[in-house]
Structure 1
Amino acid sequence: MKKLLLACLLISFSGLASTPLTVRYSAGGHAYPAELLTLILSKSAITMVPSEVPDIPSQSRAIRLLGEKNGIDVFWGATSSEWENQAKAVLIPIDRGLLGYRIPVVHISHKDMFAEVTHARQLIPFVFGLREDWPDTAIFKRNELDTLMYGTGAEPIEMLRSGRIDALPYDIFDLPKNHGDDIIHEPHIAIRYPSAVYFLWRMTIKHYTNYSMMVY
């Protein structure tokens, strides 16, 4: 898969430059995509130098900045209908679909709130908090789940502590994080739905907002 991903991404950039090329990307987030991008660029016959661009607070802003003079050249993210006409994509999932696994983050006093849940329809009574620009938000709403959307400057963990929301459906990569002694990853369920993370550069992107989710 790495060889195919390498070929697709480098073909996307081929012809852009015969001299060293700086490839800008949004700083922050998980380390793996940035390290993978660095590895891919290192295999190019063209000298490509990855460069982090700080202070891009949201995915939607990152998409808007793609290709801009003071923006970025590459972004990675899950698919969404909103992004279909805004970016080209290397349609190879770089995380093998792992981003589609969600482990709810809850207050410790509610550690057993999902103990009896065995299918997605049983999630309807609960309130989930999701970022307004996450593609996952559309998936939760499509599955008729009560979804409180928050913006870039919000503090979702505090919203959880105050009881405004019941759970934060964070991705599986959040498991190693410590959000405080009173905040835990719910021990009974995992939520899964199709979700693929692609390198975006500018091409039609399939999206999965109409898929159903499952509970394990």
Structure 2
Amino acid sequence: MTVQRFCLALLLLLALPALALPPVLNIPKPQPDSQVAQDYYTQLLRLALVNGAAGRDIPELRETSVMEQGRAIYELNRGTSIDVYWMGTSTEREQKLRAIRIPVDRGLIGYRRFIIRADRHREFDAVKSGADLKRLLACQGLDWPDVDIMRAAALRVTEVAVLEGLYQQVVAKRCDYFPRGYYEALPELTQRKNSYPELIEHKTLVLHYPFAVYFFVGRDNEELAQWIEQGLEKMIEKGEFLAYMKNHPLTSHVFPLNKTLAPRHTIHIPNSFLPADTNYSNSRYWFQPSDFE
């Protein structure tokens, strides 16, 4: 092929309209009692698809099966049982998959509230530093990136495969605390108050590390990744993203961020598992510690 013909073919290719996505996108089913969180991510994904559509038909979202994060990485690249998954990021995950690098909760999940037994409230009142926290054992989910982050900071962690099991472990005193996302602890405890009346959310203690939940797609699914990314960017530009967080039942109860936890005590630890170019000081996408003051 001559240079002229190659250039002409390239121009014709670039002039073609964007390919349409399949009419249905597969997403995971929620774990038991996680419907509110499922609705948050699903509706945000749908809004991103609407905002980024640019005249294209918007695919239907179909729940397929419950799956843990480790399996989801494999299934996303297979592209048969799941097309989009939301989970905490890490360098390894961003190497294996195509991440849409806009935190779906503006990094709020990296501010961790402690679920503990009510009879241990005074013990946790006395926790003032990372050294104090190292004496205690945390429960975290199997394959969650939080496990590596906390262990790298010399915090003790045990892993549990099923979300419900994390609550059961705290009740049974097999671990001391379950550090849950800033907006997750209270509604989940409210939902389980009859099952676990022994559990409470500690009101003033927060563990913070830079962390983000992203939407992920298969490594080669660039069209879908760009569609979602462009939709989220438009939502941010119009103020719809933050408005969504302030109004959705999963996150609305924490706003304004500076309304509670006085006096608050925050223990900061690093997250060396984020890619080096993760700009978590960018307030367009991430909440900053000053937002809580």
Match of 2:59, SS state, is: strand
CA–CA distance in 2 between the matches of 1:18 and 1:210? 35
**Which residue of 106, 128, 150 corresponds with 1:140?**
150
Number of residues of Structure 1 aligned to a counterpart in Structure 2: 196
CA–CA distance in 1 between the matches of 2:20 and 2:181? 39
Structure number having the greater strand percentage: 1
Residue number in structure 1 paired with 2:81: 71
Where does 1:3-18 land on structure 2 (aligned, <5 Å)?
A: 15=18, 17-18=19-20
The alpha carbon displacement at 1:200 in A equals 1.0
CA shift in 2, pair 1:21/1:161, >3 Å: same
Residue number in structure 2 paired with 1:49: 59
CA shift in 2, pair 1:149/1:106, >3 Å: same
Q: 1:117-144 CA distances to partner (integer Å, 9 max, x unpaired)? A: 2222220000000112111111111111
The alpha carbon displacement at 1:35 in A equals 0.7
Match of 1:105, SS state, is: strand
Where does 1:15-164 land on structure 2 (aligned, <5 Å)?
A: 15=18, 17-18=19-20, 21-28=23-30, 29=34, 30=37, 31-43=39-51, 44=53, 45-152=55-162, 155-164=165-174
Q: 1:92-135 CA distances to partner (integer Å, 9 max, x unpaired)? A: 11211101011110111112222122222220000000112111
Using structure 2 for the length normalisation, give the TM-score: 0.61
2:99 and 2:214 in contact (8 A); partners too? yes
Match of 1:52, SS state, is: strand
Match of 1:113, SS state, is: helix
CA–CA distance in 2 between the matches of 1:64 and 1:108? 40
Residue number in structure 1 paired with 2:183: 173
CA–CA distance in 1 between the matches of 2:174 and 2:20? 54
The structure having more radius of gyration, on CA atoms, is 2
The alpha carbon displacement at 1:57 in A equals 2.9
Match of 2:95, SS state, is: coil
Structure 2: stretches of 5+ with no match in the other structure:
1-16, 220-269, 275-288
Residue number in structure 2 paired with 1:4: none
1:41 and 1:50 in contact (8 A); partners too? no
Paired letter, 2:90: S
Using structure 1 for the length normalisation, give the TM-score: 0.80
Matched, 1:201 2:217: yes
Residue number in structure 2 paired with 1:10: none
User: Which ranges of 4 or more aligned residues in structure 1 deviate by more than 4 Å?
Assistant: none
Bigger CA drift: 20-29 or 123-132? 20-29
2:28 and 2:67 in contact (8 A); partners too? no
2:91 and 2:273 in contact (8 A); partners too? no
CA–CA distance in 2 between the matches of 1:130 and 1:27? 21
CA–CA distance in 1 between the matches of 2:74 and 2:273? 24
The alpha carbon displacement at 1:150 in A equals 1.5
Match of 1:111, SS state, is: helix
CA–CA distance in 2 between the matches of 1:153 and 1:143? 23
Bigger CA drift: 22-31 or 155-164? 22-31
Paired letter, 1:104: F
Structure number having the greater helix percentage: 2
2:27 and 2:61 in contact (8 A); partners too? yes
Residue number in structure 1 paired with 2:223: none
The alpha carbon displacement at 1:69 in A equals 4.5
Paired letter, 2:28: S
Paired letter, 1:54: T
CA shift in 2, pair 1:113/1:48, >3 Å: same
Match of 2:115, SS state, is: strand
The alpha carbon displacement at 1:25 in A equals 1.4
